[in-house]
Structure formats: C-alpha cells, structure tokens
Amino acid sequence: MGKNRRKVEESQPQPRKRPLNRIAAVVMILIVVGATVLIMTRPTERKTPEGRPREASPVPTAYEFKKQGDLRFLDAQRKLIVAIDIELALDEQTRELGLMYRDRMGENQGMLFVFDTAAPRSFWMKNTILSLDILFVDAENRIVTIHKYTKPYSEESYPSTSPAQFAVEVNSGFTDKHGIRVGDFIDWRGFF
C-alpha cells in the first residue's frame, strides 16, 4: 500500500511554487518604472551659470518691427503710389513665422516674403492677430492677386491666382486707402 500511495501522490498535480526571487524582481521593476515616470514628468528646474533659478521663457506674444528695407508701390505706368518700410522674410523659418503674434504694425510698414522662384502660393492667418491685406507678386514685380481685410486667426487659405515669387503683407485697408490694385507693381531694396 505504501507503494501505491506514493504513485498517487506523484501523479497528482503539485501546486506551483513561486520563488520569492521572482516576486522581488517584479516589484523592483515596478519601482524603477514608477520612479522613471515621476522623474520624466516632473518639471526640471533650470539654473543660470551662477546657480540661480531661471525664469520661464514667455511664449512670444508680440514682435517689434525691424526695418530691413524699403518697398514702393507703383502704378501700371510705374509712377509712385506710396512707399513703405519693410521687414524681410527670406528663408523658410521667417516665411513661416511671417507677421504671426504681432499686435501692431505702423501704417506704412509691411513684410515682404521673397521666394527663389515663382510658383502658386497660399497663405493663412493662423496666430495672426492683425487683419491684413495680402498681395501676391510675380517674377516681373507685377501684383497678380490681392486679398483684402483677411480674418485674424483664420486657417482659411488665401491663394495666389497666378505664380508668385513675392508676397507683401500690409495692414488691412492699406490697398483701398492708396488705390493699389492688380496690375500695379512693386520695387524694393533690402538692407543686407
């Protein structure tokens, strides 16, 4: 009978024993993961080289106008209509920023966007506080499209109707006030 009893005991499934080492390893992994999450999500304190805490950098809300050139609007006979001071957007970064976050611009100020070649262009007013007139200009400096009184913060597309190599942004109403229209020209120079 002793022999049979042993066989019965051996044939019955034995409960699985979890070693304490395995449980300890799982607990340690959970602690490490939790600590990592806390460290990664905690804001870090930035310090100056002298060891003082740095103040947080504010989100840009306005930029000051920087005169980088002159632009003249000319009628179809190339007679002066009006001249303005311009800021230049010559590279991808400055073209993308454009006049975003500006809360004011002088009456005779604007921005000239310069592209390498003439192509269909489209602008929007995302993050643009001011209402603007947007003028698209071809490679011969002829105004081909004017969008007047654009809507601030709008993601609506304002496209050129013909290939444009330049765009000019001025305060809304500027083109009406000075009688600037499609077919007029621009002439500009930058201070490089």
* Residue 82 lies inside a defined structural domain of this protein: yes
Question: How many structural domains are present in the chain?
Answer: 1
* Residue 162 lies inside a defined structural domain of this protein: yes
- At 14 the pLDDT is 56
* Residue 97 lies inside a defined structural domain of this protein: yes
Q: Can you give the CATH number for the domain in which 79 is found?
A: 2.60.120.1140
* Residue 103 lies inside a defined structural domain of this protein: yes
- pLDDT tens digits for 131-140? 999 999 999 9
- pLDDT tens digits for 127-185? 999 999 999 999 999 999 999 999 999 999 999 999 999 999 999 999 999 999 999 99
The structure's pTM equals 0.67
* Residue 33 lies inside a defined structural domain of this protein: no
Highest mean pLDDT: which range of 1-5, 60-64, 102-106, 151-155: 151-155
* Residue 94 lies inside a defined structural domain of this protein: yes
* Residue 137 lies inside a defined structural domain of this protein: yes
DSSP letters, the chain, are -HHHHHHHHHHSPPPPPPPHHHHHHHHHHHHHHHHHHHHHHSPPPPB-TTSPBPPPPPPP--------EEEEEE-TT--EEEEEEEEEE-SHHHHHHTTTT-----TTEEEEEEEEEEE--EE--TT--S-EEEEEE-TTSBEEEEE-SPPTT----EE-SS-EEEEEEEETTHHHHHT--TT-EEEEEE--
* Residue 174 lies inside a defined structural domain of this protein: yes
Mean pLDDT of 90-114: 90
Domain that holds residue 111: 69-190
Higher pLDDT, 61 or 78: 78
- pLDDT tens digits for 13-62? 555 555 667 777 777 777 777 666 656 555 444 444 455 555 544 455 56
